[in-house]
Amino acid sequence: MEANGPGKIRRVYERQKTRAGGNWHSHIALLNADGTKNEVVADDADYVVYGYSVQKLYVAMCVLDKIDRGGLVNGAPLTLDTKVTLTAGIIAEGSGIFHLHKGAYGDSITVANFLTAMLLVSDNTSVRLSGLHVPALEINEILAAKGFVHTRVEPVANPNRFYLGVTTPRETHDMLYRLVNGTLLSAASTTWFLRVLRWVNGYHDGVRRDMSSDERSRVATKYGADFNTLGGSRHEAGVMFGTDGSPALTYAMFTDAHPEQNNYGATHPVVQAHSVIGRVLFDSIATTSAPSARTHHTPAPFVPYKGN
């Protein structure tokens, strides 16, 4: 089993890291049925890095946490059914779908709608919509209360707006680890969160690229990409599940200071490296099952619908 085990994961990781270039900061762990973990890769895992769109995992978590606690927005309990109007003033350009409406605004959408767009297609407008319901300072208070020391959003003058901020690979692992073990959110919010992240219409260029649709459905993943004065950043973090829906592996790979900063496609060297590493990671847990695991998460299978 060592051929597909921790030793091979470390070797492939190091080889792909060298080949792709940039500065890597990563954490990869195999998860045991009793809730413990085996650290496989800890490469500068406590480095504080701009998480870019990987931070949307934390934003969604804070919105769901407020729902779990019965938090109020404008005097009413926040729920996934809570509605907000999509106006021109809330639109953010870049990744996502809402900015593509181009003038045809005015939709009344639910919290579930914009969180799905934020997690599945990394919609930037959804970050602003999240801020209307959980302001920046409240997000940071939730993160601190849950024990995250470094992970924060960056507030701006408008209390409902923020930059996505920073995290570390280890804290991102911890967030995912606690999520899948049911200790971060309620059971209902956890199931909802993972159903979206595992859906087959999500991000496929990186870790999930060389997988079948069934294999992709066993991987919950979130991608992040941007650039700053150091160069390009390409990140990906997520969880892989066993054949019985038990959480089997977490990965949090952050790469910054890469010279290729304007390629956001599958040919970016770091994204190509993620696809190779992802295949090896999945092969290491492909036949894994853990009936005694504390939690299991199995989404409905994808079935094409021809319409009528």
Q: Are residues 33 and 101 in the same domain?
A: no
Inside any domain, residue 308: no
Residue 120, domain extent: 55-162
Q: Are residues 150 and 194 in the same domain?
A: no
Q: Is the Cβ–Cβ distance between 276 and 21 less than 8 Å?
A: no
Q: What pLDDT does 193 receive?
A: 98
Q: What pLDDT does 292 receive?
A: 93
CATH number, domain containing residue 214: 3.30.450
Q: What pLDDT does 1 receive?
A: 37
Residues 269, 291: Cα–Cα separation, whole Å: 38
Q: Are residues 191 and 124 in the same domain?
A: no
Q: Are residues 149 and 198 in the same domain?
A: no
Inside any domain, residue 301: no
* Residues of the chain with confidence (pLDDT) below 70: 1-3
Residues 67, 113, 239, 122, CA torsion sign? negative
- CB neighbourhood size of 259 (10 A): 9
Boundary (domain end) residue, out of 117, 143, 162: 162
Q: Are residues 131 and 221 in the same domain?
A: no
Longest dimension (CA), the chain: 57
Inside any domain, residue 288: yes
Q: For the whole model, what pTM was predicted?
A: 0.97
Inside any domain, residue 302: no
Inside any domain, residue 305: no
Boundary (domain end) residue, out of 115, 138, 162: 162
Q: What pLDDT does 3 receive?
A: 58
Q: What pLDDT does 2 receive?
A: 45
Q: Are residues 173 and 115 in the same domain?
A: no
Q: Are residues 228 and 283 in the same domain?
A: yes
Q: Are residues 158 and 172 in the same domain?
A: no
Boundary (domain end) residue, out of 113, 139, 162: 162
Q: Is the Cβ–Cβ distance between 55 and 237 less than 8 Å?
A: no
Give pLDDT tens digits for 193-245.
Answer: 999 999 999 999 999 999 999 999 999 999 999 999 999 999 999 999 999 99
> DSSP string spanning the chain?
-GGGSHHHHHHHHHHHHHHH-SEEEEEEEEE-TTS-EEEEEEESTT--EE-GGGGHHHHHHHHHHHHHTT-EETTEE--TT-EEE--GGG---SSSSGGGGTT----EEEHHHHHHHHHHS--SHHHHHHHHHS-HHHHHHHHHHTT-SS-EEEE-SSTT-EEEEEE-HHHHHHHHHHHHTTSSS-HHHHHHHHHHHT-TTS--SSTTTTS-HHHHTTEEEEEEEEEETTEEEEEEEEEEE-TTS-EEEEEEEEEEEES--S--STTSHHHHHHHHHHHHHHHHHTT---TTSS----PPPP------
Q: Are residues 148 and 173 in the same domain?
A: no
Q: Are residues 42 and 180 in the same domain?
A: yes
Q: What are phi and psi of 269, to 5 degrees?
A: -55, -40
Q: Are residues 36 and 177 in the same domain?
A: yes
Number of domains in the chain: 2
Picking from 134, 127, 57, the residue whose alpha carbon sits closest to that of residue 92 is 127
